[in-house]
Amino acid sequence: MPYFDHNATTPLLPEAREAWLRASDEAWANPSSPYRLSARAHRLLDTARERVAAHLGVAPGEIVFTAGATEANNAVIRWAAQVIPAGACAVVSATEHPSVLAPAREVFGARLVELPVAPDGRCELQRLDAAAAGFVAVMAANNETGVLGPVDDIDARCRASGAWYLCDASQWIGRLPARGLAPHAFVVGCAHKFGGPKGAGILRVPPAARAAGFRAQRGGEQEGGLRAGTENYAAIASMVAALEWTGAQAASIESRVAWRSRFIENVSRGVPGIVVNSGDAPCLWNTVSLRMPAHDNTRWVVRLDKLGFEVSTGSACATGSSAPSHVLAAMGLTAAEARRTARISSGWETTERDWQLLAEAIANVWAQLEAEGAGGNVVRI
């Protein structure tokens, strides 16, 4: 099954499935209860935390397990709105995920500054006035285009100016090495983007934020007091199994970068005039945002689906919406250009052959749509 929408979600890795079952069968007790069955679950939870901390190169106490990236992004932003100085602004990249942009617009209101991006999707870092900002959010890798953010540079600037930095690394963690990523920032990861289960995520809380009173959900004393709620150890164990499995694949990244480049060459030959929206910007090895020379993306996507290839018209979060992608709009695409864009995102199980077949399928769909001519736009979708 050549599935090319891993930025929406990924199938569960066998290792992650097995870990979930083992935890559900053997370590289902509440880790906070006062008997041996729970003590065992508590020890396993501690070990999971140590393993995630090792993956990120931080201390175990900085890792908070969440139910996903949306929860984490909302929690950090709500807290930042309470603690940044009254005169400070909040700077958020115009291409952030809706789970950053929507809460930021709500809580910061007129204090929100959207950081523009260049036509290739790269954040216009020279426009970031970290000194005026109390809070900055620039993602590690964009979910629609795969464009990488200047994470370390922003981390250093925020560190120097004292601004809080939220680094949404939902599309990075589990795909690229994450050790030392944004060492002073809140860092967000999401299990179901890398073969883990849905409903599990990672929030790295920088020690300074803990000291400044950061808390996500309130209630019980779980997660070192930072996030109340019964710990979902089965999902956590499953996520850790997936994370470590992906870590072991890192040696193949170079090949995967080459497969992506060859796909772009192939599809450019098959469909004259096709454009990669991110141009030459540094990108994830798995993501291509492709703009077709003609025909709405819904038509391409449906045809490709019939041929057995799942690709997306854009972010799954926005599928319910008829508005054009805010990411592509920020890059300067017209609404019509955005409607001709498809998002392609591979996974660890994707092969070089899958990429080749996808390029051929896209060329075939292009030929079909062109053969049907303008009339085809009317009589079929």
Stretch that binds a second copy, among 241-249, 300-308, 324-332, 372-380 (CB under 8 A): 300-308
Q: Please count the residues of this chain forming the interface with a second copy, following the rule CB under 8 A.
A: 72
* CA–CA separation, 304 and 312 (whole Å): 10
- Three-state secondary-structure class, residue 112: strand
Q: Which is nearer to a second copy, 60 or 162 (CB)?
A: 60
Reported as half-sphere exposure (CB side, CA atoms, 13 A), residue 290 has a value of 37
| Smallest distance, a second copy to C-beta of residue 217, A | 5
Phi, psi of 209 (to 5 degrees): -75, -40
Select the residue interacting with a second copy from 114, 296, 310, 370 (CB under 8 A).
310
Choice between 255 and 319, CB closer to a second copy: 319
Q: Looking at residues 255 to 274 of the shown chain, list those that interact with a second copy (rule: CB under 8 A).
A: none
Which DSSP state fits 133?
E
Residues 6+ apart with CB under 8 A from 258: none
* Segment 116 to 175, residues that bind a second copy, using CB under 8 A: none
Out of 318, 333, 338, 344, the only residue in the binding site for a second copy (CB under 8 A) is: 318
79 lines the binding site for a second copy (CB under 8 A): no
Q: Which residues contact 33 (CB under 8 A, 6 or more apart)?
A: none
Give residue 78's identity as a one-letter amino acid code: R
Choosing from 192, 260, 291, 299, the residue that interacts with a second copy (CB under 8 A) is 192
Pairing of strands 287-291, 341-345: antiparallel
Question: What part of residues 38-67 is at the interface with a second copy (CB under 8 A)?
Answer: 38, 67
The nearer residue to a second copy, 81 or 274, going by C-beta atoms, is 81
Which of 24, 161, 266, 268 binds a second copy (CB under 8 A)? It is 24
| Nearer CB in complex with a second copy: 269/380 | 380
**How far is Cα 228 from Cα 218, in angstroms, rounded to an integer?**
5
Part in contact with a second copy (CB under 8 A); list of ranges 28-36, 49-57, 156-164, 282-290: 28-36
Indicate the pairing of strand 63-66 with strand 112-115.
unpaired
Positions in 199-258 near a second copy (CB under 8 A): 199-200, 217-222, 225, 228-235
Q: Residues 123, 167, 283, 317: which is the catalytic one?
A: 317
Q: DSSP alpha helices (H): ranges in 307-351? A: 326-330, 335-338
- Rounded to whole angstroms, the Cα distance separating 216 from 77 reads 10
Unique residue bearing structure tokens 């680094």: 167
317 is catalytic: yes
By CB under 8 A, is residue 17 in contact with a second copy?
yes
Burial tier of 335 (Cβ tally within 10 Å: 0-12, 13-18, 19+)? exposed
Scan residues 88-107 and list those touching a second copy (CB under 8 A): 97-100, 102-103, 106
CB of 4 vs a second copy, minimal distance in Å? 10
Residue 74 interacts with a second copy (CB under 8 A)?
yes
Give catalytic residues, as residue numbers. 317
